[in-house]
Structure 1
Amino acid sequence: MARVIFITGASRGFGKLWAEAFLKRGDKVVATARNLSTLDDLVKTYGNLILPLQLDVNDRAAAFEVVSKAKQHFGVIDVLINNAGYGLFGTVEETTEKEARDQMETNFFGLLWMTQAVLPIMRKQGHGHIIQLSSVLGVATLPILSIYNASKFAVEGLSETLATEVKGFGINVTLIEPNGFATDWAGASAVNSEPMDIYNPVRAAFQAGLTDEAFGNPEGTSVAILKLVDSENPPLRLMLGKVALPWTKQVYAGRLAEWEKWADVATAAHGK
């Protein structure tokens, strides 16, 4: 059965790839972008199956407005994919206030506004699936991506809580946690803080880890997204790529070992 899929940040990267994957199989897609001309090729190919809408997710009122338009146009919103976001490269000390606030506005608050806008519709329908594009950097961190890491950790906490709040309404929530993929996320889409020379060794170590093998082919993710949307019991978390899960298991093993080492101190702190 064809579904109505709402995707933010559909102008490029994962968003556009996934939009086309849904359209190819006959689903209807609401695709948002800041620049609608980036969706002209999809409109030309798929016609009435796609509804392109201009949106800056940082604008809460606009988020509610486009969700209302989508509901009026297609009558239902089965799936929301909160894909809009970008990467900010810079250490904690290098990052300006504006850079930090802008990162959180898009990656966290924009996602929150879209989620809030679609929830009343999905509750009334009695079904829905909210898919949040997080990152493996929402469960583990890398240097030079300090505020990006923080924004995805915030998305993780919000969405895990949301899942417990809306399950009774027939609404599922899934966090997608990709490792690195060969999109322009680290290129044209990225923002870079003004570097400080003192952090050059940290930057060099970070760059040394960015091997071609570590980055997946983004086109390979489409099959996974289709399977996720089609699942009757979707997971709360879905990692994408062959690096994400092994790395996360290694990180969590280290965390557990450290927590256990300090367990006596932690227990004594309970005070009774």
Structure 2
Amino acid sequence: MNISLVGKNALVGGSSKGIGRAIAVQLASSGASVTLMARNEEALKGVVQELDTSKGQNHNYLIVDFSDFKGFSKKIASFFESQTIDILVNNTQGPEAGGALEKSVEDYQKAFDLLFKSVVLTTEHALKGMLHKKWGRIINVASISVKEPLNYLALSNSIRAAMVTWAKSLAIDVGKDNITVNSVLTGYFDTDRIAALNAKKAEKMGVSQEEVRSAMETMVPAKRIGKPEEYGFLVTFLASEQAGYISGTNIPIDGGLLKSL
């Protein structure tokens, strides 16, 4: 199957590294013009230079801080004053780790702004152009913890669960307009985020980070941690014409880790 995204414009959050970067690379390799979003301008410039341009793609970047909702709101509104997109990948950095007893109401509010309000706001702006064109792809980066909560990620568990149920509701409303909305439930991937979480877990348990990673690999039926590029393959398919009948879904990508259906 040949996936072509030539002529499509994509906006990818959190794309200076990790999963977001891998998604951007794969979308570009399939012909999409990609606008990257993240905080680090130097990193963004580096990724732009890596993206495929062999099909006439025009890539760019937008400097945003998802943790500053007021500032983010202004940046994203300004972007959409002159731009429309066909593919939106909602992806932000994760909130701080910690259990439910460690978090305050203020912590939940910050996580809500980061993981929910920023996604809804960006999607509202993107939908205007998609509804006009009668075509669009909205893909949310979520987590397997919305189905099987991880007790050390109370903020992420709670707010991402809200995001995926919102996405299901949205999918019903925009399906008639040839716009799909899907959420990807992320398992363990070889990223800086996983390394940081493992470091914190290792310190708390009094073991090495290597032991934590080994135990994580053992838990996964595939017996390994996922590669970011594998994530990019799935998102690129969901962004394609071939995936037009897939909408309102929560798709795990976890090497078989989830035990629930």
Distance 1:66 1:151, change over 3 A: same
Distance of 1:131 and 1:112 partners within structure 2: 12
Distance of 1:191 and 1:239 partners within structure 2: 25
Could you tell me which of 37, 50, 58 is aligned with 1:49?
Answer: 58
Structure 2 counterpart of 1:147, one-letter code: L
% identical aligned pairs: 20
Distance of 1:217 and 1:43 partners within structure 2: 20
Q: Are 1:221 and 2:231 an aligned pair?
A: yes
Superposed CA deviations along residues 88-130 of structure 1, whole A, max 9, x for unmatched, are 2111111134432222211111111111111111111111111
**Matching residue of 2:107:** 99
**Matching residue of 1:270:** none
Task: Tell me how far 1:66 sits from its aligned partner.
Answer: 2.0
Distance 1:43 1:208, change over 3 A: closer
Distance 1:159 1:191, change over 3 A: farther
Q: Are 1:232 and 2:240 an aligned pair?
A: no
Alignment of 1:1-272 (within 5 A): 1-2=5-6, 3-46=8-51, 49-57=58-66, 58=69, 59-69=72-82, 71=83, 76-188=84-196, 210-213=215-218, 214=220, 215-230=225-240, 231-235=243-247, 236-244=249-257, 246-249=258-261
Distance of 2:95 and 2:196 partners within structure 1: 10
Distance of 2:138 and 2:199 partners within structure 1: 27
Structure exhibiting the larger radius of gyration computed from Cα positions: 1
What is the TM-score when the length of structure 2 is the normalising length? 0.79
RMSD: 2.8
Q: Which runs of 5+ in 2 are unaligned?
A: 206-211
Task: Tell me how far 1:209 sits from its aligned partner.
Answer: 9.2
Distance 1:121 1:191, change over 3 A: farther
**Matching residue of 1:259:** none
Partner SS state of residue 176, structure 1: strand
| Alignment length (residue pairs) | 234
Partner SS state of residue 80, structure 1: strand
Task: Answer whether contact 2:86 2:130 (CA < 8 A) is retained.
Answer: yes
Distance 1:210 1:83, change over 3 A: farther
Q: Which runs of 5+ in 1 are unaligned?
A: 201-206, 250-272
Superposed CA deviations along residues 221-251 of structure 1, whole A, max 9, x for unmatched, are 222222222223224222212224x4222xx
What is the TM-score when the length of structure 1 is the normalising length? 0.76
Task: Answer whether contact 1:138 1:152 (CA < 8 A) is retained.
Answer: yes
Task: Answer whether contact 1:87 1:186 (CA < 8 A) is retained.
Answer: no
Distance of 2:33 and 2:213 partners within structure 1: 42
